[in-house]
Structure 1
């Protein structure tokens, strides 16, 4: 398959929603993989008046690397820390009153991302395998979990704001607050 063909397929299958592969980065990735000996030129094709296109094939070293990468991805659980958690636990005392609006905006953005993801999945669905459909729906499940967590956070916001304000008062006076 040549790079343009791969890019079209990646766009059609919306791979950027269920992988960390950027469709725009495919050409650079092909060149890097070829430079590393993981892909090798097989032939050059030309359709009509279009420019010549280099068709690549995977090498034995590429198959071994792909197998190792696939095994690692299947065995590894990835739950990256969310920078929001650090920001939540280190709220600016002068802006603690903004926290409820910030959290509600985040939740609304998650709802928007969920709707967008579901729409993309529906449009890509005819071109996806059963496994690809599950991989793509994984994003929606994760977004729903984030929305649910934000709902519990919103319920806890009055206590969080009160606690942060009490901590700020304590820092100013050196005494625990009575309130």
Structure 2
């Protein structure tokens, strides 16, 4: 069963993981997330990162450790994970890894309503999607190749491998769907549906 969490933004989970490694200020957190490619899986910006750190602080999962003053830079607050934050991190990770959750991707919504588009139009739009998906797959393969060359341990690449698996599966699905849309039998069925709607 999925638990209701005090802070449920996936960015919060990443922040807890990074703060478990070592205390740091929010700017450094953002730099490391980007440097490690987490921005490919977790949507955030500088403002949302600061907001999540604040929410984690209010929940008691992170706490201020010290404030650093440097003549070159503005004052920076160093945050660290608390014992409650460590417990939340592990509980949340156990849930995410073990319990499948229903997700509602936008493409699923479009597919559920695809019959509103003329078959030729739907096939053309899906062709554009295929081109974008192939670019994404090639980009992911490039990231994986570079990581192997850089001797990055496989566990730090697992989300990229997962992403590539999903993209490859979607490419196969969309390719089959385009073929189905081009079937003359579907064109006739779609025409009858359209006539019944008007």
CA distance in 2, matches of 1:162, 1:50: 68
Residue 168 (str. 1) matches residue 191 (str. 2): no
Residue 87 of structure 1 corresponds to: 113
Residue 73 of structure 1 corresponds to: 96
Residue 47 of structure 1: how far off its partner (Å):
4.6
Taking only aligned residues, the RMSD between alpha carbons, in angstroms, comes to: 2.5
Using structure 2 for the length normalisation, give the TM-score.
0.73
CA distance in 2, matches of 1:123, 1:110: 20
Residue 141 of structure 1 corresponds to: 165
When residues 52 and 166 of structure 1 are mapped into structure 2, their CA distance, relative to the original with a 3 A threshold, is same
For the 8 Å contact 2:26–2:53, the answer to whether it is kept is yes
Residue 45 of structure 1: how far off its partner (Å):
2.1
Residue 115 of structure 1: how far off its partner (Å):
2.7
What are the residue-to-residue correspondences of 1:1-179 with 2, within 5 Å? Answer: 1-18=24-41, 20-24=42-46, 25-47=48-70, 49-78=72-101, 80-81=103-104, 82-88=108-114, 90-92=115-117, 95-121=118-144, 126=150, 129-159=153-183, 160-169=186-195, 171=196
CA distance in 2, matches of 1:39, 1:31: 9
When residues 43 and 34 of structure 1 are mapped into structure 2, their CA distance, relative to the original with a 3 A threshold, is same
When residues 127 and 75 of structure 1 are mapped into structure 2, their CA distance, relative to the original with a 3 A threshold, is same
CA distance in 1, matches of 2:95, 2:173: 29
| 1:90-136 superposed Cα distances (whole Å, 9 cap, x missing partner) | 324xx443122111111112112223334455567759553221112
When residues 138 and 64 of structure 1 are mapped into structure 2, their CA distance, relative to the original with a 3 A threshold, is same
In structure 2, runs of 5+ residues without a counterpart are: 1-23
Residue 144 of structure 1: how far off its partner (Å):
0.6
| 1:5-57 superposed Cα distances (whole Å, 9 cap, x missing partner) | 11111010110223x34253222111110111111001122455122211111
Q: Greater Rg, structure 1 or structure 2?
A: 1
When residues 30 and 131 of structure 1 are mapped into structure 2, their CA distance, relative to the original with a 3 A threshold, is same
Using structure 1 for the length normalisation, give the TM-score.
0.80
CA distance in 2, matches of 1:155, 1:3: 49
Residue 162 of structure 1: how far off its partner (Å):
3.1
